[in-house]
Chain A
Amino acid sequence: MIAEAGHFALILAAVLALVQAAAPGLAHLFRRPGIAGLTGFAAAGQAVAMACAMAALIHAFAVSDFSVRVVFENSHTAKPMLYKVAAAWGHHEGSLLLWAALLSAFGGVTALWNQGLPGGMRLRVLAVQGLVSCGVLAFLELTSNPFDRLSPAPFEGRGLNPLLQDPGLAVHPPLLYVGTVGVSVAFAFAVAALWSGRIGPGWARAVRAWTLIAWIFLTAGIALGSAWAYAELGWGGWWFWDPVENSALMPWLTATALLHAVRGVERRGGAEGWVVLLAILGFGFSLLGMFLVRSGVLTSVHAFAADPLRGVFILALFGLIEGGALALFAVRGHRLSGRIAFAPFSRDGALLLNTVLLIVATGVVLFGTVYPLLAEVLGIGRISVGAPFFDATVLPLLSPLIALMAIGPLMRPGRDSPRRLLRPAGIVGGVGLLAAAASAAWGGWAAAGFGLAAAVAAGTVLLLWRSRRSLTRRGLGMAVAHLGVAVAIAGMTGGSQLADEAIARLPVGGSLVLGGRSFTLAEVRAVPGPNYIATRARVTGPGGLALTPETRRYENPPQTTTEAAIASTPLGDTYAVIGEGGPDGAVLRMFSKPLLPWLWASSVLMCMGGGIALFARLPRLRRRER
């Protein structure tokens, strides 16, 4: 019964989305402004209806109602409650429902929150959001109904993929979805701006706040996904340039660019067309990511099962939404950006150049992600594009961006002179060169990485020192986020360039040497878990260090997973995995990953920086604008 109520709520939400999309237009058409008043109510109602639908699905999973098909396929009674609930979004239908529910929630919040916007703009934004919702809800209802019943109901479910049974991964999809769906708000604002032909500071403030929210969640979601891959896949890596990872990275890069570009519009106007284009592209990358993940066109470690119909539907949805928005941009974009109110050599000029670098890098990631498809269609052969390609293209593009990031904030907005910049640039460059020289012993990449990290840190500290008497919350947020980037680069560089690895098949009592430290396989034994049996090894090292890597054998579905043991200190990780273990010995593989924990710390810093900047903004959002 509750599943049917959920299905009903889903249909109700689709109808309300239609009302939300059509009401402003109808009001205009029939000259009855009263009709437009429905828009906000429809948006709020849609959000509530979708929340009910999501709650109904979670309920079905919580009580293990196997008469609902997706529960049967993805859950099992012998599973901790956390993973029963998380399984509600651990598959195509449920995750799409969550995606749509978040889209509706953003619509509802926009309706309630942006009261301060000029009335026409608010209605237009809501109408665009309603239109997007219509498309996604139609997709959900027509191809992927999560409330399908099975008759007769099976007694037991097939179980959730054990790899997904990880607390981090239970919250990773919702976080990432808040981010990828969040950029839809900026998209709606962009289309509404093209529609009305006007952009003001209020528009820019709202776009900045919404993009910031999406960016914080994207950052957290990507970091959590990387941390999961690092701990769970047992390869010692945290980023694989996998199509699904790329499809989260592309909206993140675009949102970062948008966040910086919209700053200029907010401050003095200029480059409005570019900002609107970035907002349109940002949501485009979200939709494209959805296509790549759900259509099964690309082989990926975490793609959902292939279904051509869904792929065609998403592609059509993508074409309609993005094609429509871009066509509107082509026709009306020129009305927006009349002027560029700053000199190329200025903080705004540097910002603009960085947004261009970000977008070009995004384009390269996109090209690398879809090139295997292209190559197959063109008959070049079956190709995989992996880390070597992305390292050779994206890193050289992002390095000047990072260098610019170190110096750009020290420049004056509007106009600056090279002579005035000489001293701060000298300090920042000097610190960077010193760090590079100090780390040159580890090779060119290490020198470049640590040099850039030090330069960004030095530039940010210098900026904080200079503005110590007039520091705004937003300035502080930016500084914290930029420091986060510096810390991230240091962590990435240390974890890859200074890393060490050792592997051996050891009998119990045997030992291997990793970077001058000796580790002993002390014991291998079987340990029962709640719904699996683990083979757990105990590895002892110098200084009383003890690691317990495991492999877990699950029964429902039958599958084995690796649990890496990671000993973290602020200076680095010691990472151990075992394979093919028995009571007499195992294959032991160990990594040392200096500075890698800094990467996780950096994501916290970046999210904190975003949060500080966001809360400096929120109260002003409500201020009514002419």
Chain B
Amino acid sequence: MTRRKQRLILIGGGLAVLAVAVALVLSALGEALTFFYGPADLLSRADAAGRRVRLGGLVEPGSLMRDGATARFVVTDGKAEMPVSFTGVLPDLFREGQGVVAEGRLTPAGFVAETVLAKHDEKYMPREVAEVLKKNGEWRTAQ
């Protein structure tokens, strides 16, 4: 086998791997991405129903209710409200009146969260939440 042919095989192999990777990425971009919305955005997006999305906003004070291991609360961005149900242990930093990001799906009965995130450090709000709140004039700097 000539050196030229060997090199062609190697370069061809590399390009084939790259092509497979690009195909994988493109197909995953169609399905595996998670868009981020505030409650108002989410309600206005017809295409969001049934898809896996992230919902960010403030937990409405006084809205948290317990039903066995399922927690129900309302997420607000000042313009719209979205009831959320979540079965699981709420994160340590979960508080009424504080920022939260819930990942899950919008169903006819409200938002069903699979995970609920609150930023580790109490000094910081999740950046996405802060932006949603800023956009709606609801931003308050943390004490």
Contact = CB atoms under 8 A, between A and B. Distances in A.
Among A163, A388, A577, A578, find the residue whose CB has the most chain B CB atoms closer than 10 A.
A388
Interface string A284-325: 000000000000000101100110000000000000000000
Contacts of A382: 35-37, 128, 131
B140 interface: no
A277 interface: no
Given A340-B7, A503-B87, A504-B69, A561 B92 contact: yes
Contacts of A161: 120-121
A392 B89 contact: no
A579 interface: yes
Contacts of B29: 371, 389
A521 to B, nearest CB: 12
Interface stretch (A431-439, A445-453, A551-559, A603-611): A551-559
A589 B89 contact: yes
A299 B27 contact: no
Given A305-B124, A503-B87, A392 B69 contact: no
Contacts of A361: 21
A158 B41 CA distance: 38
Given A559-B93, A589-B89, A383 B35 contact: yes
Contacts of B7: 340
A562 B20 CA distance: 41
Contact of A302 (B3, B6, B120): B120
B24 interface: yes
A384 B87 contact: no
B83 interface: no
A385 B54 CA distance: 11
Contacts of A515: none
Contact of B93 (A385, A388, A503, A560): A560
Contact of B3 (A339, A579, A589): A339
A562 B92 contact: yes
A587 B69 contact: yes
A344 B31 contact: no
A383 B34 contact: yes
Q: How large is the interface on B (under 10, 10 to 19, 20 to 34, 35 or more residues)?
A: 35 or more
Given A393-B28, A558-B122, A580 B90 contact: yes
A392 B68 contact: no
Nearest to A235: B115
Interface in B15-57: 17-18, 20-21, 24-25, 27-29, 31-37, 52, 54
Contacts of A561: 92
Contacts of B52: 388
A139 to B, nearest CB: 23
B35 A381 contact: yes
Interface stretch (A27-35, A352-360, A594-602): A352-360
A339 B7 CA distance: 9
B97 interface: no
B109 interface: no
A580 B3 CA distance: 68
A558 B69 CA distance: 26
B122 A579 contact: no
A364 interface: yes
Contact of B17 (A349, A360, A587): A360
A578 B89 contact: yes
A356 B10 CA distance: 10
Contact of B92 (A340, A383, A388, A559): A559
Nearest to B56: A382
Given A161-B120, A344-B6, A360 B18 contact: yes
B100 to A, nearest CB: 14
A344 B10 contact: yes
A263 interface: no
Contacts of A579: 89-90
A589 B116 CA distance: 15
A472 B21 CA distance: 36
A560 B14 CA distance: 49
Given A551-B92, A561-B92, A580-B90, A364 B17 contact: no
B126 interface: yes
Interface in A360-392: 360-361, 363-364, 367-368, 371, 381-386, 388-389, 391-392
Contacts of A558: 122
Contacts of B3: 339-340
B6 A364 contact: no
Nearest to A589: B89
B65 interface: no
A505 B13 contact: no
Contact of A360 (B21, B54, B115, B131): B21
A385 B25 CA distance: 12
B32 A163 contact: no
A269 to B, nearest CB: 13
B127 interface: yes
B89 A385 contact: no
A234 interface: yes
Nearest to B89: A579
A234 B35 contact: no
B80 interface: no
Nearest to B28: A392
Contacts of B79: none
A396 interface: yes
Contacts of A578: 89
A197 B16 CA distance: 31
A367 B3 CA distance: 34
B69 to A, nearest CB: 5
A514 B88 CA distance: 15
A364 B32 CA distance: 14
Given A234-B89, A344-B13, A579-B90, A385 B33 contact: yes
B24 A392 contact: yes
A343 interface: yes
Given A302-B120, A503-B87, A578-B89, 20 more contacts: A161-B120, A234-B89, A299-B128, A343-B6, A344-B6, A344-B13, A352-B10, A356-B14, A368-B25, A384-B36, A388-B28, A388-B32, A392-B32, A396-B24, A397-B17, A397-B24, A503-B89, A562-B89, A579-B90, A589-B88
13 contacts: A161-B121, A344-B6, A385-B34, A388-B31, A389-B33, A391-B32, A392-B24, A392-B28, A397-B20, A505-B66, A560-B93, A587-B89, A589-B89
